[in-house]
Amino acid sequence: MASGTAASMLTQTYRDALDRAQTQVNALVLGKAHEVRLAFVALLSDGHILIEDLPGLGKTTLAHALAATVGLKFQRVQFTSDLLPADILGVSIYDTTRQAFEFHPGPVFTQVLLADEINRAPPRTQSALLEAMAEHQVTVDGVTRALPAPFFVIATQNPVDLSGTYPLPDSQLDRFLLRLSLGYPGEDAERQLLAGTDRRQLIAGIAPQFGDGEFDAVRAAVPQVHASEALIAYVQALLARSRRHPGVRVGLSPRAGLALLRAARAHALLLGRTHVVPEDVQALFSHVAAHRLVIDADAGSDAAAAKSILHSVPVD
C-alpha cells in the first residue's frame, strides 16, 4: 500500500476522533485553539513540549485534559531544589522477605508526565529526564527499563521568577520538540472561566475520545505523510540560514530539521492532509527553532531571531 494511500485511509477513518479530541480539550482550555493543536502535534509525533508562562494560565489543565481525552495515564511532578533523580525515576529497595532488591518505579513510568517548574531542580535532577525523553527508557542500577508508549513530557518554567532556578542546558532544550506560551485568555474566554465550573471537576467527568488502538494507528500514520523534495529543500534552506543569520552564534542542527519535518507531518495530518505544505513548516518554525538557537546577548530574543530567519527564506 502506498504511504499516501495509507495516510489517507487513516485520516478518513479517525478524523472524527481527532476532531472530537481537539474540541474536548478546547472546551477545557478556552481560547487557545492554536496551542491545543501544537500539543496534539507534539503528542502525535512523539515529541515533548516546554511551556514558558506565568502560574495560573492553564498549563496543568492542558496536560491533564490532553491525557484524559486521549486516554493516557497522567502523573505530575513538582520540581524543587531538593528533588532527587530517584524521586523521578524510582528506587530499588531491599526486600528482606525475598532477600533481593525490588525496583519501585517513579512517576516517570507514565504516559503523560507534567514536569512543573522544571528549572527549579538542580542539573543532576534535570538530567534524569534526558534518557527518558530521548530514548523512552530509563536506566537505574545498571538495568534499563522501557517506558510506556506513548511517553509525553510537558515541562513548564516561569520566565519571570528566575530566583533560585537552574537554566536548562542546550542538550535538555534540544529534547523538547516545541516551546510555546499560553498567555492570558481573551476577555470572552476569561469570563467563561470565571462563571463556569471548576476545570478539575470538568476533567474528572470527560471520556477518552479514542477506542482501543485508534490513537496508536493515528500516530503510526504521521511518518507516512508525504514531504516533497521541494519541501525538504525549503527546510534545509531554513537550517542553512540559521547558521549564518546575524546575531545567531549557534544555528539549527540536522536533528532540529528532522524535528521540524516530523512536527510538520503531524500538523498536516491534523488538518486532514496527506502531504506537507510550506504553511505547515511556517506555522511551527518558531516553536521548533527558537529555543534551539544560541544568540548574541545584544541580538534580542531567540523568538525574534527565529521569526527573522523564517521571513528571510523565500518559498520557491
* Per-residue pLDDT in tens (0 to 9) along the chain, 316 residues: 444 555 565 556 677 889 899 999 999 998 899 999 999 999 999 999 999 988 888 889 999 999 999 999 999 999 999 999 999 999 888 888 888 888 899 999 999 999 999 989 988 888 888 889 989 999 888 889 999 999 999 999 988 777 778 888 888 888 999 999 998 888 998 888 888 778 888 888 888 988 888 899 899 989 999 999 999 999 999 999 999 999 898 999 999 999 999 999 999 999 988 899 999 999 999 999 999 998 887 777 889 999 999 999 998 7
Q: What DSSP character marks residue 189?
A: H
Can you give the pTM of this predicted structure?
0.90
Among 237, 272, 230, CA closest to 251: 237
Q: Residue 240 and residue 222: Cα distance in Å, rounded?
A: 25
Q: Per the structure block, which three cell numbers stand in for 301?
A: 530574543
